[in-house]
Chain A
């Protein structure tokens, strides 16, 4: 880097550090801004950050290398990422990717020599109902077609600023197809807080309790109980965190809530803050949703103006609370609450050892509530309408409604809110799905169900889901789907524990061997036992569920796997003839002895 650039970089870091008050917990936000400006985090910036934040350099490098959207080497001035979710693939993502790379003269993952552009894959961007989708310099682009790719190429090559690109590229629709309790509601901003102040925190917590509200992220922990535990936990500060790191492939309902119901979400956070005694809250927004950052920040400013955030909220002396938005940087694991907290603290997103749980030892070791976006929105609605209003809907153990993100093979993908207890069959009718192979409920870490199971019902008792609902019709290959999911987990494993770090990669390689027709019966036995080991012995939820796609489909459709097997005892797991290629090139040989058959004849 030229010395002027180094000076510029140092000055820029200086302003950032000043803006973020020299706080090391802000590291990821700071790094994101540096990445935006320089297309990578230059060494000069690492050095300046290390000295001014009093952090070891290695800690900063460790963070950069952990998150997919941070880089130590420059990306293109246009950094194009295409979503690798199965739903994007089903809409033709791969040929668009090939097309784009060819027309731009760039290989995936390698920045073009002139520094103008880089193209790469990225995990699900949460736009599955309007894919194939991607990100250009972090901003979401939707409904990609070969026509759009053709239009995109000259825009990039001619350095047209993103702001001057056709706005239809960036159009994002809510696609709300079925609204119920929550989505039909748009209480006046402040209504829930007024109800809170009228009834008092104790009574309101009882109301949440009465509603039977359980966490909407998928695990379903009782919300009132979580708030109560946190409230009772000792600490010199309490925090409330909204988990908007919606990373489970096929989930996009939080995007819609934050786009059109954000007031309600912030209101839920404020409510929680009053009940647990928090003065500060965070919304952890997944990096893929950065286009929401500005509108959300504007909304926070409005709420401050209206006296719904800040000091003495709604005139109640001592009701002080404010919210900060943290933008993630591309790591699925940060959806796990303790990894999310690590990330909020400016670290790599490694899930903590639990217990202790965040309710007692969360952000900076203080009692912290981490709730899903939908949970907080529901809590706000319950504050307005009362617990009974909510509890009257749903089933015995699953009260209220669930918002689904439906994508894949159906006529009307989008957002559907259903009372818990709704049979899958009804959902499929509503969204116009027929001739299905099966449904992945709850994303790759969830459950695959087949047509014979469509009488099963939505709910914690039966089919729990964080919101992902992917439909596959009979033309789809189940092994392609399982392969996509398995690659996803290997890519997103944080690398902390052995079974997941090594196991997910071994699992991926073994599945690929079978999928590509090179596996034998022994490989299938091997795959099965690997899956069991990863599921049983991993550190966190990612590892516990990473093998689910294989385990469940092996259980239901063993034939699909067995059909792919070779009727021989063994085939090498690597390309034998390919392993001679380097030597052939070096010696110029191509005689018969310079080749090997993959299988012994």
Chain B
């Protein structure tokens, strides 16, 4: 049995920018892997989440698959964290919330410039879109929020080190940004 903390990460309706920022902790990654190991994550390519201590969710919820993944994380992670603007309020993908889904898909797959073989994709393999993009706390309960687009590497590091050390995580003003 490993005594290391297990961390899982995923990106839902996000751009992986928050994951890039996580990698941006640079050499501190070495410190991190001393005390933690990664479960399901784009970094490990593990496809499903096992029991974990911390789940970091990037991105909001824009489709049915996002809901399933998010629920898997909620079931398995003791502490679930909304990492970045999209997870917290939908972010840039939520700009589509003011447009009807029909209009969005018609523009993208039917009427858009350069579209060939116009057809709205309907393969059952593809996740269906929700009519709006939602922040993750509207779909599952969330324990902590790390604002930023992305949260800076220092923000992520401060948060993780607090949590790993058993402290209540807190962010000083200079680490709180919404952009």
A and B touch in the complex (CB under 8 A): yes
Interface positions of A (Cβ within 8 A of B): 522, 569-570, 572-574, 576, 579-584, 586-589, 591, 593-594, 596, 600
Q: Is B102 an interface residue (CB 8 A)?
A: yes
Q: Is B74 an interface residue (CB 8 A)?
A: yes
Q: Is the CB of B124 within 8 A of A574?
A: no
Which B-chain residue is minimally distant from A594 (CB atoms)? B128
Contact partner of B141 (CB less than 8 A), chosen from A569, A579, A587, is A569
Q: Is the CB of B120 within 8 A of A591?
A: no
Contact partner of A583 (CB less than 8 A), chosen from B75, B130, B138, B141, is B130
Contact partner of A587 (CB less than 8 A), chosen from B100, B121, B131, B138, is B121
Q: Is the CB of A589 within 8 A of B101?
A: no
Q: Is the CB of B130 within 8 A of A580?
A: yes
Q: Is the CB of B67 within 8 A of A589?
A: no
Supposing A570-B140, A570-B141, A573-B138 touch, asked if A586 and B120 sit within 8 A by C-beta, the answer is yes
Q: Is the CB of A522 within 8 A of B130?
A: no
Supposing A574-B134, A596-B67, A600-B74 touch, asked if A587 and B128 sit within 8 A by C-beta, the answer is yes
Q: How far is B121's CA from A469's CA once the two chains are assembled, in angstroms?
A: 60
Which A-chain residue is minimally distant from B74 (CB atoms)? A600
Q: Is B129 an interface residue (CB 8 A)?
A: yes
Supposing A572-B139, A576-B139 touch, asked if A589 and B128 sit within 8 A by C-beta, the answer is yes
Q: Is the CB of B131 within 8 A of A593?
A: no
When A and B form their complex, which 6 residue pairs have the shortest distance between CB atoms, in order from nearest? A587-B122, A570-B141, A583-B128, A579-B130, A582-B101, A600-B71
Question: Which residues of the other chain, B, contact A593 by a CB distance below 8 angstroms?
Answer: 64, 124, 127-128
Q: How far is B147's CA from A562's CA once the two chains are assembled, in angstroms?
A: 34
Contact partner of A580 (CB less than 8 A), chosen from B102, B121, B128, is B128
Shortest CB-to-CB span from A586 to chain B, Å, is 5
Find the residue from B105, B122, B127, B128 having the highest chain A CB count within 10 A.
B128
Which A-chain residue is minimally distant from B132 (CB atoms)? A579
Shortest CB-to-CB span from B150 to chain A, Å, is 26
Q: How far is B71's CA from A587's CA once the two chains are assembled, in angstroms?
A: 25
Which A-chain residue is minimally distant from B119 (CB atoms)? A587
Q: How far is B74's CA from A570's CA once the two chains are assembled, in angstroms?
A: 11
Question: Which residues of the other chain, B, contact A522 by a CB distance below 8 angstroms?
Answer: 141
Interface positions of B (Cβ within 8 A of A): 64, 67, 71, 74-75, 100-102, 105, 120-122, 124, 127-132, 134, 138-141
Contact partner of A576 (CB less than 8 A), chosen from B67, B102, B120, is B67
Question: Which residues of the other chain, A, contact B140 by a CB distance below 8 angstroms?
Answer: 570, 600
Shortest CB-to-CB span from B157 to chain A, Å, is 29
> A593-B64, A593-B124 known; 20 other A-B pairs, CB under 8 Å?
A570-B141, A572-B139, A573-B138, A576-B67, A576-B130, A576-B139, A579-B130, A579-B131, A581-B131, A582-B100, A582-B101, A583-B130, A583-B131, A586-B101, A588-B122, A593-B127, A593-B128, A596-B67, A600-B71, A600-B75
Shortest CB-to-CB span from B81 to chain A, Å, is 16
Q: How far is B137's CA from A573's CA once the two chains are assembled, in angstroms?
A: 10
Shortest CB-to-CB span from A523 to chain B, Å, is 11
Q: Is the CB of B64 within 8 A of A587?
A: no
Contact partner of B64 (CB less than 8 A), chosen from A569, A572, A574, A594, is A594
Question: Which residues of the other chain, A, contact B122 by a CB distance below 8 angstroms?
Answer: 587-589
Q: Is the CB of A580 within 8 A of B105?
A: no
Question: Which residues of the other chain, B, contact A576 by a CB distance below 8 angstroms?
Answer: 67, 130, 139
Q: Is the CB of B131 within 8 A of A582?
A: yes
Question: Which residues of the other chain, A, contact B132 by a CB distance below 8 angstroms?
Answer: 579
Contact partner of B129 (CB less than 8 A), chosen from A570, A573, A574, A583, is A583
Question: Which residues of the other chain, A, contact B134 by a CB distance below 8 angstroms?
Answer: 574
Which B-chain residue is minimally distant from A578 (CB atoms)? B131
Find the residue from A522, A586, A588, A591 having the highest chain B CB count within 10 A.
A586
Q: Is the CB of B105 within 8 A of A596?
A: no
Q: How far is B119's CA from A588's CA once the two chains are assembled, in angstroms?
A: 12
Which A-chain residue is minimally distant from B64 (CB atoms)? A596
Q: How far is B138's CA from A588's CA once the two chains are assembled, in angstroms?
A: 27
Shortest CB-to-CB span from A255 to chain B, Å, is 44
Q: How far is B128's CA from A591's CA once the two chains are assembled, in angstroms?
A: 11
Q: How far is B120's CA from A588's CA once the two chains are assembled, in angstroms?
A: 10
Shortest CB-to-CB span from B137 to chain A, Å, is 9
Which A-chain residue is minimally distant from B122 (CB atoms)? A587
